[in-house]
Amino acid sequence: MEENKEQHAEQKQDHKAEPKNEEIKAEHHKKQEPGKPLKDVLFDIYDKKYKLLLIIPMLILFLSLAQIGYQLYTTGDFLNRDISLKGGVTLTIPSEGNADIVQLQKQISGDLPGNEVIVRTLRSAGSAAGLIIEADIDGTDKAQIDRLISSIEKSLKTDLSKIDYGLEIIGSSLGASFFKESLIALAVAFLFMGLVVLIYFRTFIPSIAIILAAFSDMVVALAVINLMDVRIGTAGVAAFLMLIGYSVDTDILLTVRVLKRKEGTVMDRIVSSIKTGMTMTITAIISIIVALAVTQSEVIRQIMLILLIGLIADIFFTWIQNVGLLRIYVERKAKKGITI
DSSP-derived secondary structure for 133-196: EEE-S-TT-HHHHHHHHHHHHHHHTS-GGGS--EEEEE-HHHHHHHHHHHHHHHHHHHHHHHHH
Q: Could you report how far apart the first and last alpha carbons of the chain are, in Å?
A: 68
Check whether 179 has a pLDDT greater than 80: yes
| Rounded CA separation 110/216 (Å) | 39
Top-level class of domain 45-79+174-335 = mainly alpha
Residue 33's pLDDT band (cuts 50, 70, 90): very low
Examine the pLDDT at 160 and tell me if it is beyond 60. yes
**CATH 3.30.310.180 domain range(s) in the chain:** 88-170
Please check whether residue 116 is in contact with residue 132, taking contact to mean a CB–CB distance below 8 angstroms.
Answer: no
Residues shown for the chain: 340
Q: Which residues of 90-103 are buried (b: 16+ CB within 10 A; e: fewer)?
A: bbbbebeeebebee
Global pTM value: 0.81
What pLDDT score does 125 carry? 59
- Taking a C-beta distance cutoff of 8 angstroms, is the pair 88, 170 a contact? yes
- Going by pLDDT thresholds of 50, 70 and 90, the confidence category of residue 290 is very high
3-state secondary structure of 216: helix
Q: Where in the chain is the domain with CATH 1.20.1640.10?
A: 45-79+174-335
Asked if the 88-170 domain carries CATH number 3.40.50.300, the reply is no
Query: pLDDT at residue 98 above 50?
Result: yes
Structure confidence at residue 85 (pLDDT): 87
Residue 83 near residue 90 (C-beta atoms within 8 A) = yes
Mean pLDDT score of the chain: 85
* Cross-strand bridge partners of residue 132: 92, 120
Would the pLDDT of 182 be above 80? yes
22-43 burial: b if 16+ Cβ within 10 Å, else e: eeeeeeeeeeeeeeeeeeeeee
Q: Of 22-26, 188-192, 242-246, give the lowest mean pLDDT range.
A: 22-26
Say if residue 127's pLDDT is above 80.
no
pLDDT class for 17, splitting at 50, 70, 90? very low
* Cβ atoms of residues 147 and 113 within 8 Å: no
Region 30-55: what's the mean pLDDT? 80
Q: Where does the pLDDT of residue 161 fall: very low under 50, low under 70, confident under 90, or very high at 90 and above?
A: confident
Alpha helices in 228-297 (DSSP H): 234-259, 266-294
pLDDT band at 294 (very low <50, low <70, confident <90, very high): confident
Burial, 165: exposed, middle or buried (Cβ in 10 Å; 0-12, 13-18, 19+)? middle
Output the pLDDT for position 189: 93
pLDDT at 1: 47
